[in-house]
Amino acid sequence: MSEPTLPEGVERRTFDGSDRLATRGEAVYGEPTDGEWRAWNPDRSKLGAMFELGMETGLRGDETVLYLGAASGTTVSHVADFAGPTYAVEFAARPARDLLDAAASRPRLFPLLADARKPATYAHVVEADVDAIVQDVATRGQARVALENRRFLADDGRLLLAVKARSEDVTRDPEDVFTDVETELDEGYEILERRRLEPYHADHLAVVARSR
């Protein structure tokens, strides 16, 4: 695997004899810790898998981030450890409660109980011109979610999208699903890099794109 360009605040450190990604922050999901550092598990994080696979995300640290599909905070807590203001959108009430716990020790993490398919409901909170949109939303219409939220992205910002094929159509070949998603994304984004997320996540495609 190629060596990824990691943002400032993300390092490779040794946990139990294994070299792993890590950020500084309070543990959230039972991950190993070493002092103030905590391991970042790519098997539970699409963005972590993107780093492990050497994708060039464009993240350098201190960015303003809009995270769509924050769930209980596994990945977005790592993002908030190294990024600037991080807006975490989650629709389901149960994981949102865990997200609130993860945010308690992270003053730059702002949980929003909202539907990523309806960005108008949080447009009054999220600042314009975010540096990155990180999207991990397991729903049909994942490209449409990315297009609807493009309004928040700075001209030179990046979309970091994890596409789950089975959420679009469980009956179709994943590559056919990915092709359709990329075609729809072309309405508003230029794709810079695409990569399947195996072995970390089956039937997932990671896309790095910028606004047209």
Annotated binding residues for S-adenosyl-L-methionine, written as ranges, equal: 74-75, 90-91, 115-116, 136-139
Contact between 16 and 25 under an 8 Å Cβ cutoff? The reply is no
* Phi and psi, residue 45, nearest 5°: -145, 120
Angstrom distance (rounded) from CA 25 to CA 78:
8
Q: What contacts 17, CB < 8 A, 6 or more positions away?
A: none
Angstrom distance (rounded) from CA 73 to CA 88:
8
Sign for the CA dihedral angle at 106, 148, 123, 95 comes to negative
Angstrom distance (rounded) from CA 158 to CA 71:
21
Angstrom distance (rounded) from CA 202 to CA 132:
24
Sign for the CA dihedral angle at 139, 142, 147, 153 comes to positive
Angstrom distance (rounded) from CA 129 to CA 167:
29
Q: Binding site: which residues?
A: 74-75, 90-91, 115-116, 136-139
Strands of the 37-39 sheet, one edge to the other: 10-15, 18-24, 37-39, 33-34
